[in-house]
Amino acid sequence: MKILSVSNLNQSFGSRHVLNDISFDIKSGTIVGLVGPNGAGKSTIMKDILGLSDYQSGTITVAGTNTSFQDHRPLKQVGALIEYPGLYPFLTGWDNLKLFATSTANVEKVVSELHMNSYIKKRAGHYSLGMKQKLGIALALVNEPDLVILDEPMNGLDPQSVKDLRDLIKQMAGNGTTFLISSHILSELEKLADDLIVIKQGRIIQHTSMKEMLNRDSHFIILKTSDDRAANSLVVNAGYQVTASQPLTIIESESDEVAKILSLLSENNIEVIDFQHNEGNLEHSLLTVLAEEKV
């Protein structure tokens, strides 16, 4: 079932066209990463979905009901953190949550899940950057929404908090909550997202699964041998693609290639001193996609 559907969204700021025919659907219970360079239009898409900014044309549907700049009723089951956490500094963290929470039990639950008990009764104005970020995330999650929109949620979080948040998002997604997350921390997104929407200059250039995106990337074999120069000649003559000679880096195009290369070197009395297998990663795949696509 589709929880969010964006269709032919167009938006301009004056003469500058920032969103061009943006269309995508998101299925319930999935974690979708929204990625792209700075200024690509990620936050604008999120703001449009949330009715925070107005757009020239297009439709946005949340759980089957149209939502717009003026009519927010379908957003009842949506939680969000956009750009930076909006907090009342004169209220405690607890009161910030209580203000928007539908029940005290929900506040207690999210505070416990995000490990905020030690400071939640202090005024938010005295919080560190990371504490404020966590409280902003807690505000998005407090009413157990069906759809959560998070813009750079990992900003300012320490490693333990990043892991706690990742675990919580996965757990909530497992229970049916849908997440649309934009992040420049691609290593984190790689661990989280099921699908990816890549945006460049206000256009979607890829909407794919994380698995497919990672499969786009080349896998490398990196070798250190007793005679790198001879090894280089051998593998090149055998038809392998070498991208660097120091250290010797070979593109792996088939799964049994490692065995064949090691065997070839062994037959020619070249000793392998060190061996590394470099898997594809989101950063490399994304940069490749962005470089390939001309908008």
Among 39, 64, 66, 89, binds another protein (CB under 8 A): 89
Backbone angles phi, psi at 214, to 5 degrees: -70, -30
> Which region, left, alpha or beta, applies to residue 36 given φ > 0 means left and ψ of -120 to 50 means alpha?
left
Q: Taking the CA atoms of the chain, what radius of gyration do you get in angstroms?
A: 24
- Name the burial class of residue 182, with classes exposed (0-12), middle (13-18) and buried (19+) by CB atoms within 10 angstroms of its CB: buried
Q: How far is the CB of 88 from another protein (least distance, A)?
A: 6
Please report whether residue 181 would count as binding another protein according to CB under 8 A. no
Task: Find tokens 């659907």 and name the residue.
Answer: 25
Binding residues for another protein, total number by CB under 8 A: 29
Q: Which of 295, 148, 206, 204 is nearest to 9 (CA)?
A: 204
Q: Single out the residue of 33, 36, 41, 85 in contact with another protein (rule: CB under 8 A).
A: 85
Distances (CA, A) of 231 to 103, 236, 267: 67, 9, 11
Q: How far is the CB of 149 from another protein (least distance, A)?
A: 8
Our finding on whether 70 is near another protein (CB under 8 A) is yes
* Residue whose CB is less far from another protein, 125 or 176: 125
Strands (E) across 31-116 are located at 31-35, 57-62, 65-67, 78-81
Distance separating alpha carbons of residues 6 and 20, to the nearest angstrom:
12
- Report the residue number, 95 or 194, with the smaller CB distance to another protein: 95
Q: Which is nearer to another protein, 83 or 158 (CB)?
A: 83
- In terms of CB distance, is 68 or 233 closer to another protein? 68
**Residue 180 and residue 80 in contact, taking contact as beta carbons nearer than 8 Å:** no
* Binder among 27, 73, 121, 163 for another protein (CB under 8 A): 73
When asked if residue 80 is in the footprint of another protein (CB under 8 A), the reply is yes
List 7, 20, 28, 72, residue binding another protein (CB under 8 A): 72
Report in angstroms the alpha-carbon separations of 183 from 19, 79, 178. 19, 17, 16
Residue 169 DSSP SS3: helix
| Shorter beta-carbon distance to another protein: residue 91 or 242 | 91
Question: Of the candidates 71, 212, 279, 293, which one interacts with another protein according to CB under 8 A?
Answer: 71
**Exposed e or buried b for every residue in 262-292, given b needs 16+ CB within 10 A?**
eebbeeeebeeeeeeeeebebebbbeebbee
Nearer to another protein, 99 or 244 (CB): 99
Using the rule CB under 8 A, is 275 a contact of another protein? no
Q: Is the dihedral of CA 104, 107, 112, 113 positive or negative?
A: positive
The residue range among 16-24, 47-55, 224-232, 247-255 that interacts with another protein, by the rule CB under 8 A, is 47-55
| Beta carbon of residue 89, minimum distance to another protein (angstroms, whole number) | 7
The least distance separating another protein from the CB of residue 47, rounded to whole angstroms, comes to 7
Residue 64 touching another protein (CB under 8 A): no
Residues near another protein, by CB under 8 A: 47, 50-54, 70-76, 78, 80, 82-91, 95, 99-100, 139
